[in-house]
Amino acid sequence: MKLAGKIALVTGGSRGIGRATALAFAAEGADIAFCHLNDEAKADETAGEIRALGRRALHRWGDVADTAAGRAFAEQAARELGPIDILVNNAGINIRRPFEAYSEEEFDRIVSVHLKGMFFMAQAVYPAMVARGQGCIINVASQRGLKGAVNSAPYSAAKAAIMGFTRALAWEATPKGLRVNAIAPGPIVTDLTATMTPEDRQAFIDALPVGRFGRPEEIAATALLLAGPDGGFYVGATLSPNGGDVMY
C-alpha cells in the first residue's frame, strides 16, 4: 500500500481525472477528501466507491475560485480526517471560443478556477505541511499549456501559468520537506473533451501517434507515482502523459 495512512485532498474529485485519482489513491491506502461543483449524485457515488475500498471519504460542494470556501474545505478535511499529506489540484473548466469572442467574464472565470484556485488551495494546506516537514502537492495542468490550442486561449494560458507556478513553489517548498510537481495530460476521455465536436475529436485522434484518447486512470497512475514513495526525485517537474501529442 503505497499511500497507507495518508490523507489526500483532491479538487474536482467527483468525475474524470479527479475521480480516477481519488480511487487510485484510496486503493493504495489513502483516505480521501474531495470537492465538486454541483455534482452531488456523482460525488456520493465516488465516496461510496472509496468507502468500499475500506477508506474514509469526505466530500463537499465547493468552488475553488472562492478562496474562503477552498480554505474552509481544507480546514474541514484536516479536522475530520487528519493533516493533509497530499493535495491534488485538479478542478478545471473550459469555455471554447475563438480568441476574439471571449468576454472578460469568461476569461476571469477560466483563470480564477485554474490558476487562482490552485494557488490558494495550495496556500491553504502549505503551512501545516511545512510545520510537519512533509507533504506533496500535485497541480494538474494540460498539454495545451505546452503547445496551445485553437479556441482555448485563456485555458492554454492558465495551464502554462500552472507549470510556472509549480516550478516557483518547488523552489520554496522542497528545502522544507515538500514535493511539488505537475501533470500535463493530453486529450483524455472526460466531460471537458466531451464538448468537442465529433469532427474535432476525430481529427485530434487521427493526429495522435497512439491513435486514441487517454483514460483518466492513466493520469491517475502518474499522480500515484508523484504522490508515492517512488516519486521522491521529482522536483518542480511536469510529467505529460499525452499519447505523443507533445514530445519534448
Q: Which one from 102, 126, 155, 248 is the annotated catalytic residue?
A: 155
Res. 197: pLDDT tops 90: no
Cell digits of residue 92: 478545471
Q: What is the CA radius of gyration of the chain?
A: 17
Reported pTM: 0.95
CB 26 within 8 A of CB 32: yes
pLDDT score, position 190: 80
> Catalytic: 155?
yes
Res. 188: pLDDT tops 70: yes
pLDDT score, position 224: 98
pLDDT score, position 200: 81
Task: Please name the amino acid found at residue 191.
Answer: D
CB 226 within 8 A of CB 136: yes
For residue 222, report the phi and psi dihedrals to the nearest 5 degrees. -70, -40
Residue with the bigger pLDDT between 190 and 214: it is: 214
The average pLDDT across 39-52 equals: 96
CB 140 within 8 A of CB 89: yes
